[in-house]
């Protein structure tokens, strides 16, 4: 098993599960089922069942890689060791864009829900959203400075309360109002719209790769990483499908609405006052996605700093809490920059909510791009590091790894192409993602030249592992794991 001398394995199996669930479930489940119901008909819940299929390919690869190479900053470490120095750098470079666009999107969406609770007038909402958004980004930055056990516990609590509890409440209170007559016919608009909705809903299942970035801090990772994915996927499918089923069961598809909360008001399944509580819980659900972004991806900068692919400053840890402060600071600063530029610039013209969604499209396409090298890395792992493959706690056949990896690559590329052809999101992606990637190539060449003048060969660096990481010659026994965890 991999062991990092500087990071602490403080994340238990429940924490790992809820980090995945909290990352995957976002605000979209309170918008998409209602907004798209009129386009699909009552079979919208089937779209959520179909949408998870491409996500399973990526999760399968992550379970295998994370079990074989359970190190912190897995997205960088895996891509750099199995795909080369350039790919490793570009993965971390693109993570900056993806995560900071997501932080700005989530902070703005969180602030919008808070604005609804306090009934902030339209003319004051822009300033309110930016102010509250900055405050929430700073708050979660400070939280992530603390021990990883505290961050993991907080994430578990807000995911249970903000994500799972609020969805269960809606499902339970909607059940008595369920009208089976809404499902006759099941496909009034045909099957094609349901299949297209499944493509859209695929983004509701992105986020499984995050487990690789915290793998270095998961207890008993060879077993718990595959278990966390195996448990979280069915849980997510059940929650998503039931919520979409209830939306179709309580609201006729031929009466267009915008959000699930609007359906709650329209169908009067809850008192109007109780909607405030639901809104607060939804805001917590957004926070449960915001928090693990800091927690997981700051570790990639730590590892890139150790290799000096990024400045060595990023390799520093807090002396007491052992958390990567420079990486957290980078995410905070760039996240705030995205928030204070995009929201005021495009908010007055397109609306704050639409602008936030466009930011999420940037995140979505980058996540899809980053899944490609990870899936290819899964194919290469057994050849380049056969000893790690043999010690993996989840060791499927080479053939199944190849099949699932290829399907993961194909589905990821297909969704990127679909996003680029979207009339709104496509333009934003072309104007932001591709120029940003081009700048990254230039920065990489400059960094490579600087390191070469200092006598540092990146090929040699990424051919091994940082000195802080050691690999056991054999998997630890149960007694050894228990003794190690007790000593911590």
CB-based contact 47:205 (threshold 8 Å): no
* Alpha carbon distance 382, 378 (integer Å): 8
* Contacts with 250 (C-beta within 8 Å, 6 or more apart), sequence order: 174, 177, 178, 179, 182, 263, 267, 269
| 364 has pLDDT over 90 | no
CB-based contact 409:112 (threshold 8 Å): no
Highest mean pLDDT of the ranges 59-73, 253-267, 343-357, 461-475: 59-73
User: Helices 148-158 and 274-307 meet at what angle, rounded to 10?
Assistant: 150
Q: What is 173-202 written as a DSSP string?
A: HHGGG--GGGGSSS-TT-SHHHHHHHHHHG
Containing 3, the helix (H) or strand (E) segment is strand 2-4
Phi, psi of 246 (to 5 degrees): -65, -40
* Alpha carbon distance 317, 336 (integer Å): 23
* Alpha carbon distance 432, 113 (integer Å): 27
Choose among 230, 223, 225, 213: nearest CA to 56: 230
CB-based contact 305:74 (threshold 8 Å): no
Q: What is 367-412 written as a DSSP string?
A: HHHHHHHHHHHHHHHHHH-HHHHHH-SS---HHHHHHHHHHHHHHH
Helices (H) and strands (E) in the chain, counts: 20, 2
Q: Length of the chain in residues, anyone?
A: 488
* Contacts with 105 (C-beta within 8 Å, 6 or more apart), sequence order: 356, 357, 359, 360, 363
Calculate the CA 270 to chain-centre distance: 31
Which percentage of the chain shows pLDDT scores above 70? 95
Residue 297, CA atoms < 13 Å, CB-side half-sphere: 31
Phi, psi of 471 (to 5 degrees): -120, 130
| 476 has pLDDT over 70 | no
Choose among 425, 353, 10: nearest CA to 203: 425
Q: For the segment 108-159, what is each residue's pLDDT rounded down to a tens digit?
A: 988 988 887 788 998 899 999 999 999 999 999 999 998 888 888 888 998 8
pLDDT at position 482 is: 57
| 401 has pLDDT over 70 | yes
Choose among 161, 164, 188: nearest CA to 240: 164
Q: Which two tokens stand for residue 84?
A: 């080369």
Choose among 8, 123, 73: nearest CA to 309: 73
What CATH number does residue 66 fall under? 1.20.1740.10
Q: For the segment 18-40, what is each residue's pLDDT rounded down to a tens digit?
A: 999 988 887 778 878 888 899 89
Summarize the confidence of residues 331-340 as an average pLDDT: 96
pLDDT at position 397 is: 95
pLDDT at position 480 is: 52
Mean pLDDT of all residues belonging to the chain: 89
Q: How many domains does the chain have?
A: 1
CB-based contact 437:94 (threshold 8 Å): yes
ω into residue 338 within 30 of 0, thus cis?
Answer: no
* Alpha carbon distance 373, 355 (integer Å): 29
Structure-model confidence comparison of residues 417 and 433, the more confident one:
433
Q: Which two tokens stand for residue 229?
A: 């994915």
pLDDT at position 424 is: 64
- Residue 307 lies in domain: 2-487
State the residue for tokens 């909705």.
Answer: 197
* Alpha carbon distance 410, 478 (integer Å): 39
Calculate the CA 107 to chain-centre distance: 15
* Alpha carbon distance 437, 304 (integer Å): 17
User: Helices 85-117 and 74-83 meet at what angle, rounded to 10?
Assistant: 160
Alpha helices (H) along 252-324? 260-267, 274-307
| 164 has pLDDT over 80 | yes
* Alpha carbon distance 289, 18 (integer Å): 10
Largest CA distance in the chain: 73
- pLDDT band with cut points at 50, 70 and 90 for residue 275: confident
pLDDT at position 378 is: 97
Q: For the segment 68-102, what is each residue's pLDDT rounded down to a tens digit?
A: 999 999 999 999 999 999 999 999 999 999 999 99
Beta bridge partners of 218: 11
């Amino acid at each position: 098993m991999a062991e990092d001398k500087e990071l602490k394995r403080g994340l238990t199996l429940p924490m790992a599960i809820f980090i995945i669930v909290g990352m995957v479930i976002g605000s979209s489940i309170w918008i998409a089922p209602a907004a798209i119901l009129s386009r699909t008909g009552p079979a919208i819940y089937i779209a959520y069942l179909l949408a998870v299929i491409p996500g399973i390919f990526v999760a399968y690869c992550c379970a295998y890689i994370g079990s074989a190479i359970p190190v912190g900053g897995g997205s960088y470490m895996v891509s750099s060791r199995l795909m080369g120095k350039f790919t490793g750098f570009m993965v971390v470079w693109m993570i900056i864009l993806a995560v900071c666009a997501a932080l700005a999107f989530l902070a703005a969406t969180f602030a919008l829900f808070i604005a609804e609770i306090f009934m902030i007038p339209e003319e004051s909402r822009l300033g309110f959203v930016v102010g509250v958004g900055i405050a929430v980004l700073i708050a979660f930055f400070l939280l992530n400075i603390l021990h990883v056990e505290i961050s993991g516990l907080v994430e578990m609590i807000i995911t249970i309360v903000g994500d799972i509890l609020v969805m269960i409440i809606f499902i339970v209170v909607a059940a008595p109002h369920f009208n089976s007559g809404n499902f006759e016919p099941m496909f009034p608009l045909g099957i094609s719209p349901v299949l297209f909705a499944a493509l859209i809903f695929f983004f509701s299942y992105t986020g499984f790769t995050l487990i690789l970035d915290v793998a270095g801090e998961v207890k008993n990772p060879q077993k718990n990483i595959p278990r966390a994915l195996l448990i979280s996927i069915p849980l997510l499918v059940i929650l998503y499908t039931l919520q979409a089923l209830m939306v179709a069961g309580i609201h006729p598809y031929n009466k267009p609405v915008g959000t699930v909360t609007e359906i709650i008001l329209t169908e009067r399944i809850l008192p109007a006052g109780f909607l405030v509580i639901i809104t607060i819980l939804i805001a917590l659900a957004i926070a449960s996605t915001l928090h693990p972004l800091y927690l997981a991806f700051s570790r990639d900068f730590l590892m890139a700093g150790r290799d000096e692919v990024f400045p060595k400053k990023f390799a520093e840890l807090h002396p007491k809490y052992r958390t990567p402060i420079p990486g957290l600071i980078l995410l905070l600063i760039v996240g705030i920059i995205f928030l204070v530029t995009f929201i005021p610039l495009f908010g007055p013209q397109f609306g704050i909510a639409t602008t936030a969604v466009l930011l999420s499209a940037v995140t979505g396409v980058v996540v899809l791009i980053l899944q490609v090298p990870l899936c290819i890395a899964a194919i290469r792992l057994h050849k380049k590091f056969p000893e790690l493959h043999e010690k993996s706690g989840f060791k499927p056949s080479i053939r199944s790894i190849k099949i699932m990896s290829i399907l993961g690559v194909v589905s990821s590329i297909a969704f990127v192409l679909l996003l680029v052809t979207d009339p709104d999101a496509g333009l934003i992606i072309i104007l932001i993602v591709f120029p940003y990637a081009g700048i990254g190539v230039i920065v990489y060449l400059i960094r490579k030249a600087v390191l070469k003048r200092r006598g540092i060969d990146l090929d040699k660096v990424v051919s091994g592992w940082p000195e802080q990481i050691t690999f056991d010659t054999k998997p630890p026994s149960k007694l050894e794991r228990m003794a190690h965890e007790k000593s911590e």
